[in-house]
Structure formats: structure tokens, C-alpha cells
Amino acid sequence: MKVTDHIKKANGNTLFSFEIIPPVKGRSIQELYNNIDPLMEFEPPFIDVTTSREEYVYIDRDGLLDKKLTRMRPGTVGICASIKHKYDVDTVPHVLCGGFTKEETEYLLVDCHYLGIDNVMALRGDAMKEEKYFEPTKGGHPYAIDLIRQIQNLNCGEYLHEVVETDHCADFCIGAAGYPEKHLEAPSLKTDLKRLKEKVDAGADYVVTQMFFDNKKYFEFVKQARAIGIDVPIIPGIKPIAVKRHLQLLPPIFRIDLPQDLIDAVEVCKDNKAVRIVGIEWAIEQSKELKAAGVPVLHYYSMGKSDNIKAIAEAVF
């Protein structure tokens, strides 16, 4: 079932959902299940599975370093199929421009269609670790909007290289990313919102936001989005702070600000166990306020750990 249909069916009640990361290759999917199991009591209608783009690894060959391109966390679509089957829940694979040709994207989408996956999150992806700026993959898309157009074409039965199969159209519900504190490369929030509107006009059915720690930023973002005609659901993304180093890591990676009260509360913590409690309490307060404001879904970035998300869900749902 589509994310947008889950929202309609909820009839104004706020839903709970979360996002997981595939394990590093070679590890067991059981690790994921162990973290999903405790969250199923909160009845998530859908679970997102991220996609990591390729990266360079260096292999020591008798003192000479061999540079190889590899994907450390493959398996997004397989994991989606397996979770869907095991828990009878909808899954949302993240589909990236970066690292994929249009043909590879088409094959991935065909797999999703065969597997009965109804939703995809269409993203550009970040620059590779070695790159300063995002470089489109040869034969791939430069922006998320181009990926959204490809998915929409499939929804109309139009495949690459002029193959048309209008009797067997896909019907993907498409998610797109939004940034309450603007995307790091965007010259201004206004321009970024214009780009978001273009993604929605191209076929994005709903938006999930980048993490934010100050609800005012989300409310203002939604207000500005509505003012320029973005009328699809805007789902807030919540991440609980879990370690002290997040104070330094999160702002430059995601170009977000942290509220001073949160920084102060984390700084006085003696260890990361105490930080985790502060992170949970902050996310509970954020979630309660967002729920009271009637957001359609509270979407948690679990980063593969469920204990803190469970504690938040217990307090909010």
C-alpha cells in the first residue's frame, strides 16, 4: 500500500515509521531483525531502507595500495523484500542518482515492481567521500527530479530506449527529500523550496525532511512550502542524539543547527549513556509537539539501533 494511502487511512492520526541502514556486507540480516522486532508493537505502516553509494577501498598488495570501488552496504531491495515478507509491512527502498546508471535504476525499479514494493524514496545522494561536490555518475541522473521523472515514466509504462508497455504500468508512490534548514548546496531556503516544488510537480507524492532539532524550523518550512503550493504530506524526520560527538558531527554533515539548550544538556553529560537519555528526552518533547500539531507521520532515523526509538515511541504513541 502507498505511503499516501496509509496517511489517508489514518484519518488525521499521527503514524509511526522509521528508517534502517543495511548491514555492512558479510554481516547477517538477523542484526536488522533484532532491531526491528522491538519496534513492531508501534505498528509502523512502512519502514524505509537506506541506500549507500559506492566508495573507494584500498587493498594492500605487497606494500602497494590497490584502489577499488565497492559498495559496503548493498542489498537495499533484498532487505525491503525480506522485511515486507517477514513482518507484513510496507517497505520503502531509497533509490539514488549517485552511483547508478539510468539502466541500473530501471532494473532496480523493475525488481521493486515484481516484489510488490509500492513506494520508493527518490534521492540524488551525496558526493563521494573523495569528491568535494556531487558529480553525476556517467549515464546516471544529475538531480533527484530527473530520477522522479524516470519513475513517473515507468508509472506510465514508458521504459528506457523507447520501450512502451502501457498495459503493465508500475504505480510507485514517490517520496522526496526536504530540508527545513535548506540543503547544504542550496544558495537559499527560498531557492531550495522552489526546487522542492519542482520535484513535487514532477511527481513526488510526499516529502520526508532532513533531521532537525528545533520544531520551529519544521513549522516555518511547512508554512513556506504551503505558501508556494507544495500541498503533499511533509513528514518530519527525527533523530535522537546518541553520543557526545554528535554535537560536532551532525552540523557539518547535515548543515543543521542545534538548539543551545540541547547543546548545554549534552555538554554536562558524564558519559554517552547520559547523552543517550538527553537525546531520548529531547526527541520525546519534539515528537509530542509535532504530534499535537497533527503531523501525518513521525519518521525516526534509527541508524540501526532501536532501544532509543522504542523509548521515544513508548512515550509518544
> Residues in the site for ligand FAD, rule: CB under 6 A?
50-51, 53, 94, 96, 123-126, 143-145, 177, 183, 185-186, 192, 195, 199, 208, 210, 237
Minimum CB–partner distance for residue 146 and ligand FAD (Å)? 8
Q: C-alpha grid cell for residue 88?
A: 507484513
Q: Catalytic site residue 19?
A: yes
CA atoms within 13 A on the CB side of 76: 26
Give the span between the Cα atoms of 165 and 156, in whole angstroms.
8
**Cβ-based burial of 90 (10 A; exposed 0-12, middle 13-18, buried ≥19):** buried
Nearer to ligand FAD, 17 or 51 (CB): 51
Residue 18: CB atoms within 10 A of its CB come to 24
Residue among 265 and 290 whose Cβ is closer to ligand FAD: 290
Smallest distance, ligand FAD to C-beta of residue 168, A: 28
Closest CA to 208 of 181, 240, 229, 178: 178
Pick 241 or 265: Cβ nearer ligand FAD: 241
Q: CA angle, corner 56, sides to 54 and 62, nearest 5?
A: 145
Nearer CB in complex with ligand FAD: 42/300:
300
Q: How far apart are CA 34 and CA 31, in angstroms?
A: 5
What are the residue numbers of the active site? 19
